[in-house]
Amino acid sequence: MFKQARKQWILSNAPLRGMYRNLFDLLLDCSNSLGKEELELFCVILWRVWTVHNAMIHGVLMADVCEVNCDAAIDIQGGRIGFGSVIRDSTGFVMDASSQVMVGSFNAQVAETIAILRGIQFSKDCRLFPCIFESDAELVVRWINDGSHMDSLSGAILSDIKFMAAEMSGVCFGFVPRNALMLIEDRFWM
C-alpha cells in the first residue's frame, strides 16, 4: 500500500523529497513548496493511504464504507454553536454535507459530542452506512469507544450515540488530529 503511494508520488514529478519528523512538518512544507495542483494530488494520495489504513484496522472493505467527518465550532461572543458533517465514499467523493447553527453556550466536549450525534443522525437520514465517524475531539471519541463518562455533562448525548450506533451495522468512531488536517482544510475551503 505505502509502496504504491510512494510510487505514485514519484511518478507525479513533485519537487518534495525530504525526510520529515511528523505529518505536520510534511504538510507545512507541502503548503509552502507545492503548487495548487501538486498539493491537491498529494492530499488525495495522503487521504487514500489513510483510508486504506482505516479499512485494514476496522476490517471493512473500502468500497463498503463511508467516512463521516464531524466537527463543532463555538462562537462564545455570539452565543452560538455550529455543527458540521461531511460524508464521503471510499473514493473521497463528497456524497452529502450538513451544517447547522444553534443558540447556546456549551463547553467544547459537549459541543463535539453533539456534532458526532448530529453526524450519526445525518448519515441515517441519508441512509449511508456502514460508516467510520471521525472527529478531532480525542476525549469524546475515547468516551464513545470505551462507554465511559455516561454520568458527565455529555452523558445523555453519549448514551444516544451508543443507542443509535447499535441500530446501525458497521459503525466505528475514530480520532483524527486537527493539526494534521488543518492545512488541507484551509486549502480546500479557499
Write the pLDDT tens digit of every residue in 78-94. 999 999 999 988 777 88
For 24-59, the pLDDT digits (tens) are 777 777 788 888 877 777 777 777 777 666 666 655
On whether the pTM is more than 0.75, the answer is no
**Are the C-beta atoms of residues 128 and 65 closer than 8 Å to each other?**
no
* Per-residue confidence band for 180, with pLDDT thresholds at 50, 70 and 90: very low
Q: Hey, what long-range contacts does 31-34 have (CB within 8 A, 24 or more apart)?
A: 31/183, 31/186, 31/187
Residue whose grid cell is 475514530: 174
CATH topology of domain 63-177: Nucleotidyltransferase; domain 5 (3.30.420)
| Closest to 68 measured CA to CA, from 125, 151, 134 | 134
**Number of H-type helices and E-type strands within the chain:** 7, 5
Q: Does residue 135 register a pLDDT over 90?
A: yes
What is the per-residue pLDDT for 10? 55
Residue ranges, CATH 3.30.420.10, the chain:
63-177
What is the per-residue pLDDT for 113? 95
